Amino acid sequence: MKAFPVKLPSGDRYWTVLDDQMAVVPEADAFLRHARFGQAQAELTTKTYASAVALYLRWCARTGRAWTTAAADLSLFMTWLRYASAELTGVASPAVGSAMVMTGPGMKRQRGEARIENILVGVRTFLRHAVNTGSAPSTVLAQLYELADDRDLPLEAKGERERMAYRLRAQHRVSVPRARRDRAADEEVLALLKACRLSRDRFIVLLLARAGLRRGEAAGLRREDMHFMPDSSPLGCKVSGSHVHVVRRANANGAWAKSVRERWVPADWLVVQAYDQYVLERLSFPHGEHSDFVLVNLLRGQLGAPMSPDAVTELIERLGQRGGVDRAVTAHMLRHGFASNVGDSGGTVDEIARLLGHSQLSSNEPYLHPAQSRIREAVERVPSPVGDWGGPR
């Protein structure tokens, strides 16, 4: 069993699961097609799901279990994921006589808790779909979930209801430490810019750090999305000033805008200037003019083809190494830095949500990294009660 990419004649892509004879697993394929086209989820999401389902089906096949009822032993699947080596859990069948799982104190873990939790999410979603379509018995749901009340939920999650409510809670859970993602410091962004050898690369860094776009949103931009004029009304756009439109589309390079709602993001003069320089640079390459995508391959990969989101990730990693940045700075850390800079400059939570494309204000919280000076100033703004007390005591 293994995950495998599929490209349809329309150009749309998704991931499926193949068995050991390289035949499509029908139930898995139906689930992944439903996730991609029935629920409009990203190609990358189907890749993650396909990898999880392939692992689950592989475990079932190698331990003699029927996948439709193996959810009763999902705790053993978790143990297999946690301790079995890559040789035992990989696509190739293990050698005859190999132990499937070797557990016990001192054994080296093969996968972290966060990775196991992501796999469990994909397996649960697959099995739920199988129950809904009649491919698996309804008893599977009781093996996956337990009925729980809301007493353990925070007040924010309960809302204003007075009665106790009930919900389904996953039977099998792992404890995943919620590490807060860091932001890219302004000095690190400057180091990335200094390490750029192409105008295109400088534009990408500024697009992420000064407009807060996700890597998939940046890779999916088309020329028609770049409205860098004081007045865009001749283009049928009512937004004034320079800005970028972020639109969800099915792109050949796998780029995908996370939000289903189109949004526009203001572009400052640094971004506009960098784009102008990039356009001139792009025209100097014989293969630079043909694609409608904004970001194209100029020196590596298929020349003239649109850059993929992974290519954007690799570019930021190379720039960090070339620029001598002490730690690994990612494309998403640039987005975090943008949100934090807007907040440090007095931006409100609703403004940040609008810029980042978040539908809920609570989604902003992981992106806000207040500067130490702003935290101190917040305390110093509180008036002293000494005068009301008539002097210190």
Within 13 Å and on the Cβ side, how many CA atoms surround 83?
Answer: 15
Among 170, 198, 215, the domain-final residue is: 170
pTM for the structure as a whole: 0.68
Q: Is residue 385 part of a domain?
A: no
Q: Is residue 204 part of a domain?
A: yes
Among 124, 141, 170, the domain-final residue is: 170
Same domain, 221 and 370: yes
Same domain, 139 and 194: no
Q: Are 272 and 228 in contact (CB under 8 A)?
A: yes
Q: What is the mean pLDDT of the chain?
A: 81
CA-closest candidate to residue 15, choices 35, 40, 32: 32
Please give the average per-residue pLDDT across 230-256, as a whole number: 85
CA-closest candidate to residue 286, choices 277, 296, 276, 294: 296
Q: Is residue 350 part of a domain?
A: yes
Q: Are 56 and 39 in contact (CB under 8 A)?
A: no
Q: Is residue 85 part of a domain?
A: yes
Same domain, 128 and 247: no
Residue 73 reports pLDDT greater than 50: yes
The residue range of the domain holding 278 is 186-374
Q: Is residue 386 part of a domain?
A: no
How do residues 164-223 score in pLDDT, each as one tens digit? 455 577 778 777 666 666 888 889 999 999 999 999 999 999 999 988 898 899 999 999
Same domain, 137 and 259: no
Same domain, 76 and 194: no
Same domain, 145 and 20: yes
CATH number for the domain spanning 248: value is 1.10.443.10
Same domain, 121 and 10: yes
Q: Is residue 365 part of a domain?
A: yes
Same domain, 43 and 88: yes
Same domain, 194 and 340: yes
How do residues 105-153 score in pLDDT, each as one tens digit? 566 777 888 888 999 999 999 999 999 999 999 888 888 887 665 555 5
Q: What is the number of structural domains in the chain?
A: 2
Q: Is residue 102 part of a domain?
A: no
Same domain, 56 and 133: yes
Q: Is 167 helix (H, G, I), strand (E, B) or coil?
A: strand
How do residues 60-70 score in pLDDT, each as one tens digit? 988 889 999 89
Q: Is residue 227 part of a domain?
A: yes
Same domain, 224 and 365: yes
Same domain, 73 and 194: no
